[in-house]
């Protein structure tokens, strides 16, 4: 009889341990399948907003610097008034890009102090409980330096009109740190450095030499 009582106690204790383990596994699986994807999505949206604000702040200073430089491009026309050549002022563009990188990095470095506060209710995956419970602070950490590249595009706009746009493309990597997990995100933003409307016949071909982060040549050949 005494042995039977001891056996029942051991079985009861074993059953409780099994229940605790199963409950813990269920919580982990729930967090992994339901909560974390939602939390990461919310944090990615907020991180994108932070990077956008940082880029916009840098863009204000970058565009203010434009006043110190000549026009980025000059256009050459033939006897009929058609544009046959677009020349890039590489010195001005490269100087502006160098200063732009400094401005951008200074603003992005400020993200080290940015945090996202979420209620624990957000981990339930329910929109009704998302604003309930204690607040959990999630850190956002910039990774490395921002990468900047120059992109130059031509867009047909109406009859005999072409938009020529020079873009500074910023790629920033940030790390979102949540309990037991971390997620790296790549965020890409564009700053329009220059935009011109070219009037006249749209050339059938052109050579885009503004590829990558530097300008290899200073001429766009627009001869058909």
pLDDT of residue 209: 44
Which residues lie below 8 Å from residue 179, measured CB to CB, with a gap of 6+? 136
For residue 215, what pLDDT band results from cuts at 50, 70 and 90?
very low
**In terms of Cα–Cα distance, which of 209, 99, 199, 86 is closest to 151?**
209
pLDDT exceeds 60 at position 37: yes
Tens of pLDDT along 4-35? 555 766 667 776 777 777 776 666 565 556 56
Residue 29, SS3? Answer: helix
More confidently predicted of 88 and 209: 88
Interior CA angle at 53 toward 59 and 150, to 5°?
40
Residue 116, pLDDT > 80, answer no
Q: Are 144 and 112 in contact (CB under 8 A)?
A: no
Q: Residue 187 forms beta bridges with which residues?
A: 172
From first CA to last CA, the distance across the chain in angstroms is 103
If you average pLDDT over residues 84-98, what whole number do you get? 77
Average pLDDT over residues 138-160: 76
- pLDDT, residue 181, reads 72
Strands 83-88 and 73-77: antiparallel
More confidently predicted of 148 and 219:
148
Contact between 162 and 204 under an 8 Å Cβ cutoff? The reply is no
Separation CA 51–CA 67 (nearest Å): 25
């Amino acid at each position: 009889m005494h042995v039977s009582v001891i056996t029942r106690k051991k079985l009861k204790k074993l059953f409780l341990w099994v229940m605790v383990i199963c409950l813990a596994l269920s919580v982990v699986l729930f967090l992994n399948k339901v909560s974390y994807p939602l939390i990461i999505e919310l944090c990615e949206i907020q991180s994108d907003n932070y990077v956008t604000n940082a880029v916009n702040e840098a863009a204000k200073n970058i565009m203010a610097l434009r006043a110190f430089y000549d026009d980025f491009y000059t256009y050459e026309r033939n006897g009929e008034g058609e544009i046959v050549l677009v020349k890039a002022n590489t010195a001005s563009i490269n100087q502006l890009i160098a200063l732009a990188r400094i401005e951008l990095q200074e603003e992005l470095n400020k993200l080290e102090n940015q945090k996202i506060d979420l209620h624990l209710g957000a981990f339930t995956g329910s929109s009704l409980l998302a604003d309930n419970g204690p607040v959990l602070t999630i850190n956002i950490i910039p990774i490395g330096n921002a990468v900047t590249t120059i992109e130059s595009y031509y867009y047909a706009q109406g009859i005999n009109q072409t938009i020529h746009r020079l873009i500074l493309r910023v790629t920033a990597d940030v790390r979102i740190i949540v309990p037991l997990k971390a997620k790296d995100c790549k965020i890409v933003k564009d700053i329009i450095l220059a935009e011109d409307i070219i009037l006249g016949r749209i050339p059938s071909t052109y050579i885009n030499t503004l590829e990558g982060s530097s300008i290899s040549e200073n001429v766009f050949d627009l001869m058909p």
